[in-house]
Structure 1
Amino acid sequence: MSSVYFSQNGNRNGFAEKTHYNGLPTHSSAVREKWQRHHPTSSWLIPLSLPIPGVRTRRLRIIAPNPARLHQFSVTRFGRRRGPLVLFVGVVVAVFTVFALHKRFATQEKKWPALSTGEPSTLVYQPEDLRRIWEWEIAAGHYPSSRKIPKQLAFTSPPHNPALPARKSATLPSRYRSPIVQDTVGMGAKRVYLDLQAKLPNVAYPPRPVPGSVADLDVIMDYCDFSQNKYVRDCLEVLRLGGGLDNQARVRRGKMDDWKYIYVEDGVSDNITEPDAMLKPSYALPQGESEVSKDFTKKRGGTWEPHLSLPPAPKYRPYKDQAAVCDEENPRVFHMFWTGPFTDKPYLALLSFLFTQNLGLHLDSDHPISNVCRPKFWLWISPGPAAVPPGPNALKEMYDGLKSSPWASPFLHPRFKDIIQFKLWNTTEQLDGVPELKDEWRALRDSLFNSGGWVEKVSMDDPVAATGPTAVLSGVKGEGATAAQPPAPTSKAGNDADDKVNRVGSKSPQQYDKLSVILSDMARFILCHRFGGIYLDADTIFLRDWEELWGWRGAFAYRWSRLEKYNTAVLRMNKNSPLGTFLFRTALKNGLDFHPMTVSRYTKDAYLEGLLLRLPDALFDSAWLNTESYQRERPPQPYFTEFGDFFETPREQGAAPAALGFDGFFKGAYSYHFHNFWWRPFDEYRNWPDLGERFINGERIARASIASERGVVPLDEETVASDKRDLDWSTVLKRTFESYIRGERPNMYGEWLHW
């Protein structure tokens, strides 16, 4: 095809078409003239279809000015010679005018949005407040790292770091030093890195971590960081060797000091840092604060938060200098959130906790370990649908349900009363317990279930749903509050008892309790901020003692597989920390969105990622990269290509679980995250709690229920021939933990349960 504003390549009888130079278009025929007038290119705007990187099946469709139409207009109006020149000048003037207006009227707050990620800024804190957060966290010992502070924060003098050992620093003349410092001044004790190995006579099992020991997460990042092309397989070897888990199986030779990552703080260093070598340079920042502020883009349409008023940072004390073995500022509490009937999933999480952590269960209950801070496990239970508040008798009903549940009742045994506690979750009470939210969160009641910017709406016209957010918001303490109403019944005429609002628990991929999942995204931050400790998703299994992770005082989550984002299935935060204040106030101004992808934006926009360390997923989620087709040329053991392999191990690998047992399952990792699968039993052939005579009544109830569902007569005993021939990994782990409770084997550290 041809037109007046493109060279005429068409011909008529072998000769080129005639062209008039009076600015009027010419056409070879009436058909061509009609086509020219009605073809879409005559429009001022045209659609463009652009490829989307990484997405082959879809293209991006945008509307753009039609350059052909603009050219045609300029030629028609000004002629073929002057038209293109006028058009070019007009474009240059338009671009210059836009930038001139921006330069004249825009402020530091009104800047061009960042183009690097394509996502709008979430920032609501000014740079000076972000620096104060960094200073407070460092002074409190929550940054025991030698990694550099982001230069965008523009520190002109290095903060003193009591959790970092003192060291001599290179002294440079002031004229050679940068005006911005990125290092902290170590003021802490020496670090003595431990060589952990089993010793006689207890050589059959690995040794317990040394009380008060600390994991150097800088070393772990050096050997495990996926962004630095480190393999999960190699990371797990470093973790198990440095942690002394390779008892009687050490085949590496040569000096292994570089793989030591566990240390204790011992004494005061003689190599005191010379702070003057790192203090303010002899010249100031160019143009002051304005040069730095360009890196901080305020949330569009938002307002800056008032300047932070922070209390003095608590004095950092190494473990050896603490007045008591358990530090109130650093409580050792594992949190887990559960909704719906108690099943084998929280059951196995609790069993793995008993099997791995240093709880003193091998000693008499009257004489616990004197020099060890025993961790506790708080299981928070939401008794009904996520959008419905608990009724006035909810606590009693919760304990009645736990007592009657075969899966839950064993953990009510007096032997576990000091280490496992069940707690009732109340959304209103929890939100009111967060000072940063209590006065403002009710204004966002319509977006309470916000996940990644997608708000799950709950209809207020529905008589059942009306007891949801409305009731949650009304059942509060304080002036003008009304008593909480009991939960609405789950079976009313005209309402589906398993719809989005009334669903309790996930029964299948199609019947997924999404509201509870969204609520748990927020619950983990509330629990860690209010009480301190570590939050774990309920689809998590402990694989080793976490002593040295407790010793590292900073906050952390872990990496979202290949992406540089957080996964908060494991979340460590310090109680009432400025970092927590930042996260809650930022989330409040961004729709109370606590999805891990959104939290990743909060910390990235504020340059606070170093204060919420993103650990490699090898530590807690060793199969994730393999399930997404990464590192399959050198996978860890076991080799899962999808998360379902944990519950149904492929036949070609089916010999490994029974042959290798617990020791062959991602050894070195701290935990395993099996990513949902709430509806798949761990042990399909023995889907009941198998804990021996002490808990036989619950076992009989569960077995009778299963037999009734299958239409068979329950048997008191089975033969080995009735069991599955190739046991899956989930089955092997469940039966291993149960055998410890039955008293048939010790835990992973060779300690026998003493009742």
Structure 2
Amino acid sequence: MNSDLPSHSSAVEEKLERQHRSHASNAWTRPVSLAIPGVRTRRLRILVPNAGPFRGGGGRMRKKRGPMLVALACLAVFLTVILVTKSFGRSDWSDQWQGNTNPEPPTLVFMRRELQKIWKWEIASGHYPSRAPIPVDIGFTTQLINPATPPQPPVNKPSRYRAPGVQYVTDARGAGPKRTYLDIQSKPPNVAYPPRPVPGSVADLDHIMKYCNFGTGKYVRDCLEMLRMGGGLDNGERIRRDSKTTDWRYIYVEQANSTTTSEFDNVAETEQVPMYRKPPSRKTEDPNDGLLKKKGVEWEASIKLPEPLVHRPSQSLASPCDPENPRVFHMFWTGPFTDKPYLAVMSFLFSQNTGIHLKEWPTDSHVCRPQFWMWINPGPAASVPNPTAVRDMFDQLKLSPWASPFLHPRFKDVVHFKLWNTTEQLDGIPEIKDEWRELQESLFNSGGHIIPVKKAAPSSSASENTTATVEEDDMLNRTGSKSSASYDRLSVILSDMARFVLCHRFGGIYLDADTILLRDWEELWGWKGAFAYRWSRLENYNTAVLRMNKGSALGSFLFRTALKNGLDFHPMTVSRYTKDAYLEGLLLRLPDALFDAAWLNTENYQRDRPPQPYFTEFGDFFETPSSSGAAPHALGIRGFFRGSYSYHFHNFWWKPFDPARNFPDLGPKFKAGEEVARATLRREKALSIAAMKQTATSPSAPAPVVLDEEIDEEEPDKVDLDWSAVIKRTFEAFIRGERPNMYGEWIEWRTT
């Protein structure tokens, strides 16, 4: 029996209907509450079309209203689910079949066949010691041989499971030396310090990505523990852990006599490699279908590449140094030498195997001795060096208290100062030497933002020369960053390009000048692929650390692509170059835990489990918060991001490492430079005191006299030393011979 009385499933529904009853008869919608599966205490309230206006249609309409409302409610829920799914299902990851969905304009200038040539050259040269797949968009239909990875069992795929049509190969077949992973530990009684890495060892960066990749939810803290344990840096302080730590061995050596063939060579090719069918979006025979070319430019001509190199294990080389893989750290500096490049070089001497702990470097050494090349741009970034620039540079270095210590004969084999000349360097890049001058006036290009630099027009009279003055702190004439307000922007942009020029011309690793080394990089040199590291949370490069091989196919690609994109080498732009061309695998983007362990914390990530020390901003390195101020002095450098290869403090050029002792404190051998620095500090303090006195009296009053006793030559130490001061004093104590370096080696001062 039907009833015209209202029926409600809950008191909530009845209350809502009573609340809207006064206007429900005229409203087009009405609220309905639906049960939420699995949630007994909550109901979903939705609006459905109101059947009230149709009540006058008689009893038949009223009888059918219930089923109709249910149907409409179901339809509304279905549409809502579809809408929510499409909104929350969006991802920044582009569909591999749909091309690049990046809102930035495309940068690609190479056809698919040229991209294939680049991949083939790099893999054949041993520059891809990774098992990561090759992007399917490269379009390989035959398998490549990789001499830098060991053989692996085939992935058998029966023919009945293979899709018809064109098959694309994404894996290269390993045919390289076998790998032996090392358990690195100090041997008694020498357990107070970690051992030096095994000469010729290699860091398995695939394995490091497994434990350190922020993109897969890995914590910096856990990554550093893996790096410490696998690298033997916890010796003397090792704590027993569960059995999973055996998987933290990420350093290996290649067996020199192992064959490059395997028992898998006779397996049919089609049965041992993963295949992918032709993307459905490729409906034409266009070989470049799916690639997004830069607008307004033609495809680049065939890329010119030398013969691929031959991959050889370190143990099979005639000498410990591979001529194709020089162990050179590059650094670029503009303007007067300060405590920033000083500390970078000091960290190199403290951590790398330079041999300064030996009286003489042995001729039969099994270690490849690294070098540090400091490139000096003597004037403003936009200036042209004069003919006597090299001599002038060394004259200035001799007078600089921060640079002169490294001119000592003890360091002549490992620290080298070199003059940077932009014209000479760009002319040394075959890929752009004939064309870069067309962009000379827009050479300072950073992320598409160009600072124009035009040649100065010659003056017509001497009077014009006297009246045409340039502000001392004008952007084009800055030499270094004296404060955050007077940032030397041009030098930063020039350095973005300089790092790629130096690595492509000479090989090696580039380091930003706001970097300090924290451990021996032997096993990183062993990985012959190119790499930079991740821009914090973003999937872009930060090239504050950049490793590239000399004259590589990747380098040729980058320079030709940059030339067609305004010679823009900003890290974000370089990220677009490699992404648009599907070459990201050839410039590996390592986790920033290896080189920049504080970055995620400073951007409010992973603060639930931060690494040690805990920095919420980069300034904490120079002014450590009092809440953690006991850590620097108590823990020392052993407690500073232990496991990381370096630390990047992100600029702060104007902030002294050690305000109380803002001079090189290296002992009697370098007393002359220390006295120069102290005298400079006294003059600066005298000028500061005089300026304060002038302000307190009257600007028109005579210049006040500052007495010697008013000048405190040395500020008193802070109660709690900051991290920057502790690290500076640690490096200096090693040079003074008061403590060993991080590997327990004491500096040896030979007689010269």
| TM-score, with structure 2 as normaliser | 0.79
Q: 2:536 matched to 1:561?
A: yes
The answer (yes or no) to whether the contact 1:145–1:218 under 8 Å persists in 2 is: yes
Question: Which residue in 2 is equivalent to 1:149?
Answer: 134
Correspondence for 1:197 among 171, 178, 185: 185
- Which one-letter code corresponds to 1:214 in the other structure? V
Matches within 5 A, 1:343-354: 343-354=338-349
Contact preservation (8 Å) 2:168, 2:276? no
Q: Give 2:742's aligned residue.
A: 748
**Which residue of the partner structure matches residue 118 of structure 1?**
103
Task: Indicate the residue corresponding to 1:390 in structure 2.
Answer: 385
The 1:289/1:586 distance shift into structure 2, 3 A limit, reads farther
Q: Which residue of 1 aligns with 2:550?
A: 575
CA distance in 2, matches of 1:215, 1:424: 33
The secondary structure found in structure 1 opposite 2:176 is strand
Alignment counterpart, residue 172 of structure 1, candidates 150, 153, 157: 157
In structure 2, the residue matched to 1:486 is none
Contact kept, 8 Å, 2:531 with 2:588, in 1: the verdict is yes
1:371 aligns to 2:360 (yes or no): no
Cα deviation, residue 202, structure 1: 1.2
Match in the other structure for 1:66: none
Aligned residue runs from structure 1 range 664-743, under 5 A:
664-711=639-686, 713=708, 722-743=716-737
Deviations 1:550-595 (A, max 9, x none): 0000000000000000000000000000100000000000000000
Q: Is 2:328–2:372's contact at 8 Å kept on the other side of the alignment?
A: yes
For residues 109 and 268 of structure 2, the distance between their equivalents in structure 1, rounded to whole angstroms, comes to 34
Letter in 2 for 1:296: L
State, as a whole percentage, how many aligned pairs show the same letter: 65
Distance in structure 2 (CA, Å) of the matches to 1:388 and 1:283: 54
Aligned equivalent of 1:228, options 216, 221, 228: 216
Q: In 2, distance between residues paired with 1:275 and 1:739?
A: 60
Offset of 1:463 from its aligned partner? 6.3
Deviation at 1:446, TM superposition (A): 1.9
Secondary structure of 1:189's match? coil
2:265 is aligned, of 259, 267, 274, to 274
Counterparts in 2 of 1:402-481, with a 5 A limit? Answer: 402-460=397-455
Distance 1:245 1:189 in 2: 27
Instruction: Give the Cα–Cα distance (whole angstroms) in 2 for the partners of residues 334 and 572 of structure 1.
Output: 9
Residue identity matched to 1:215: A
Whole-angstrom distance in 1 between the partners of 2:612 and 2:284: 52
Secondary structure at the aligned position of 2:331 is classed as strand
Please state if 1:335 is matched with 2:330. Answer: yes
Aligned in 2, Cα 1:272/1:687: closer, same or farther, shift over 3 Å? farther
Instruction: Give, as a single letter, the amino acid of the residue that structure 2 aligns with 1:649.
Output: T
Kept in 2, the 8 Å contact 1:704–1:714? The answer is no
Give the Cα–Cα distance (whole angstroms) in 1 for the partners of residues 285 and 185 of structure 2: 55
1:361 positional shift: 1.2
The aligned amino acid for 2:137 is Q
Query: Aligned runs of 1:99-114 on 2, under 5 Å?
Result: none
Listed as ranges, the gaps of 5+ residues in structure 1 are: 1-111, 467-489
**Aligned residues of 1:707 and 1:713 also touching (Cα < 8 A):** no
Aligned partner of 2:247 among 258, 264, 277? 258
Amino acid across the alignment from 2:233: L
Residue in structure 2 matching 1:362, options 337, 357, 361: 357
Task: Identify the match of residue 112 of structure 2 among 127, 131, 155.
Answer: 127
- 1:310 Cα deviation (Å)? 2.2
The alpha carbon displacement at 1:717 in A equals 12
Superposition misfits of 4+ residues, deviation over 4 angstroms: 112-115, 279-289, 459-464, 490-493, 712-719
SS at 1:750 equivalent: coil
Mapped pair 1:550 → 2:525 = yes
User: CA–CA distance in 1 between the matches of 2:485 and 2:612?
Assistant: 31
| TM alignment of 1:25-64, pairs within 5 A | none
1:115 shift after superposition: 6.8
Q: CA deviation at 1:392?
A: 0.7
Corresponding residue SS for 1:163: coil
Q: 1:333 to 1:319 in 2, by over 3 A?
A: same
Over 3 Å counting, the alpha-carbon distance change for 1:115 and 1:278 in structure 2 is closer
| Most deviating of 450-459 and 690-699 | 450-459
Instruction: After superposition, give the CA deviation of every residue in 1:363-411 in whole Å (9 maximum; x if it has no partner).
Output: 1125367100011000000000111110011100000000011100010
Residue of structure 2 equivalent to 1:79: none
Counterpart of 2:72?
A: none
User: What CA distance in whole angstroms lies between the structure 2 residues aligned with 1:131 and 1:276?
Assistant: 25
The offset of 1:362, in angstroms, is: 1.2
Aligned to 1:295: 290
1:82 corresponds to: none
Answer whether contact 2:99 2:290 (CA < 8 A) is retained: no
> How far apart, in 2, do the equivalents of 1:168 and 1:567 lie?
36
**For the residues of structure 2 that align with 1:584 and 1:236, how far apart are their CA atoms?**
35
- In 2, the alpha carbon distance for the partners of 1:192 and 1:508 equals 50
- What does residue 614 of structure 2 align with? 639
CA distance in 2, matches of 1:152, 1:426: 40
Distance 1:453 1:698 in 2: 43
Task: Kindly indicate whether the alpha-carbon contact (under 8 Å) linking 1:170 and 1:277 is maintained by their aligned counterparts in 2.
Answer: no
Match in the other structure for 1:603: 578
Q: Which amino acid aligns with 1:268?
A: S
Residue identity in the other structure for 2:744? G
Q: 1:346 and 1:356 mapped to 2: Cα distance?
A: 16
- Counterpart CA distance in 2 for 1:174 and 1:540 is 54
Query: Matches of 1:217 and 1:636 in 2, distance apart?
Result: 21
| Equivalent residues in 2 for 1:467-546, closer than 5 Å | 493-546=468-521
| AA at the equivalent of 2:576 | R
Asked whether the equivalents of residues 559 and 614 of structure 1 are also in contact (C-alpha less than 8 Å), the reply is yes
Structure 1 residue 168, shift from structure 2 partner: 1.7
8 Å CA contact 2:114–2:302 kept in 1: the answer is yes
Quote the Cα distance in structure 1 between the aligned partners of 2:446 and 2:119.
28
Q: Is the 8 A contact 1:360 1:368 kept in 2?
A: no
Query: Aligned with 2:221: secondary structure?
Result: helix
User: How many residues in Structure 1 have an aligned counterpart in Structure 2?
Assistant: 621
Query: 1:23 is matched with which residue?
Result: none
CA RMSD in angstroms comes to: 2.6
Counterpart Cα distance in 2 of 1:350 and 1:291: 53
The separation in 1 between residues aligned to 2:264 and 2:249, in whole angstroms, is 24
